[in-house]
């Protein structure tokens, strides 16, 4: 059985910048995208479990996050920019028909990726992501210290308070640490979240898509998750009791299991 210590870290150049990614497993490529202001660390518990399901899992740090430099030293300000970068990452690594998954902005990125590149992917699993996500005010000026000196505290609290109620104090502190000093990239991510809307484009997506929502997550309303799944020709929705905004971090075994089950159901994985 693999553990987080078996994860292998790499750097690769994509779009003119140096990008870090974690990797584990063999078999069907699975590309994992993190939440706003965070990094691939959010998937450290899930990657070994994905590998057990038969995935060759990759979790990258988006540009400007953790160990990846921003493109041109400018933070991305749209979900589409992020999605196109993930697509360039997939092409650079030569991954054929990957499953794309992500959480929060990563879920939005998964849906944008599908809207533009569904022919090149086996399936998409959008956790805490929506076809349109107008659930956070656009925070364009929140990094200015004279206007919002508590922005860093706000980012930590927004992360921790949207966890499921049963998450341990140890994991709460770990997630808080992951979001510290992430306010610059997080602003771009949340600007992107607030403006994201590919709902009208989802009707053309012909690969299997699963929309996943934790019922303890106040950022993602049930009705918008259901709306997103209805817009997808091969869309399904899964509501998770006692899970919040970070399913792969809160309940990695559950996430790996339904990801594997969904892909086996659609003939992407065998067994």
Q: Where are the domains of the chain?
A: 4-265
CA dist., res. 220 & res. 224, Å (int):
7
**Beta-carbon-side half-sphere exposure of residue 100 (alpha carbons within 13 Å):** 33
Count the Cβ atoms, other than its own, within 10 Å of residue 31: 27
The predicted pLDDT at position 96 comes to 98
| CA distances (Å), origin 23, targets 44, 46, 85, 143, 256 | 10, 11, 18, 32, 15
**159 by DSSP, 3-state: which?**
helix
Nearest Cα residue to 43 out of 25, 16, 64, 18: 25
Per-residue pLDDT reduced to its tens digit, 64-99: 899 998 888 888 889 999 999 999 999 999 999 999
Is residue 56 a contact partner of residue 23, using CB atoms and an 8 Å limit? yes
Per-residue pLDDT reduced to its tens digit, 11-42: 999 999 999 999 999 999 999 999 998 999 99
SS3 content of the chain, % helix, strand, coil (to 5): 45, 20, 35
Most confident region among 144-153, 156-165, 180-189 by mean pLDDT? 156-165
Answer whether residue 243 shows pLDDT above 60: yes
Q: Which residue has the tokens 């049930």?
A: 222
The residues, any chain, with a CB within 8 Å of residue 144's CB and separated by 6 or more, are none
What class, spelled out in words, does domain 4-265 have in CATH? alpha beta
Is residue 140 a contact partner of residue 70, using CB atoms and an 8 Å limit? no
Outline where DSSP puts E strands in the chain.
8-14, 17-25, 28-33, 55-60, 99-103, 123-127, 209-214, 235-240
Name the pTM for this structure. Answer: 0.90
Give the chain's end-to-end CA distance (angstroms, integer): 18
């Amino acid at each position: 059985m693999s553990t987080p210590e078996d994860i292998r870290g790499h750097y690769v150049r994509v779009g003119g910048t140096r990008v870090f990614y974690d990797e584990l497993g063999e078999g069907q490529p699975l590309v994992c995208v993190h939440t706003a202001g965070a990094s691939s660390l959010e998937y450290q518990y899930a990657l070994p479990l994905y590998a057990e399901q038969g995935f060759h899992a990759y979790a990258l740090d988006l540009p400007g996050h953790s160990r990846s430099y921003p493109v041109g030293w400018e933070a991305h300000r749209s979900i589409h920019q992020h999605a196109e970068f993930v697509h360039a990452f997939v092409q650079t690594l030569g991954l054929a028909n990957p499953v794309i998954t992500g959480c929060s902005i990563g879920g939005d990125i998964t849906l944008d990726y599908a809207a533009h590149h569904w022919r090149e992917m086996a399936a998409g699993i959008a956790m805490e992501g929506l076809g349109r996500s107008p659930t956070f005010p656009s925070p364009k000026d929140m990094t200015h210290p004279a206007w919002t000196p508590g922005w860093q505290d706000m980012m930590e609290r927004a992360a921790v308070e949207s966890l499921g109620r049963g998450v341990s104090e140890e994991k709460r502190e770990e997630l808080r640490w992951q979001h510290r000093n992430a306010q610059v990239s997080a602003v771009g991510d949340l600007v992107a979240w607030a403006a994201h809307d590919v709902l009208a484009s989802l009707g053309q997506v012909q690969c299997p898509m699963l929309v996943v929502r934790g019922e303890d997550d106040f950022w993602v309303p049930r009705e918008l998750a259901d709306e997103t799944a209805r817009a997808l020709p091969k869309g399904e929705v899964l509501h998770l009791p006692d899970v919040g905004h970070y399913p792969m971090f809160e309940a990695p075994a559950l996430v790996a299991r339904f990801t594997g089950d969904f892909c086996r159901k659609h003939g992407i994985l065998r067994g």
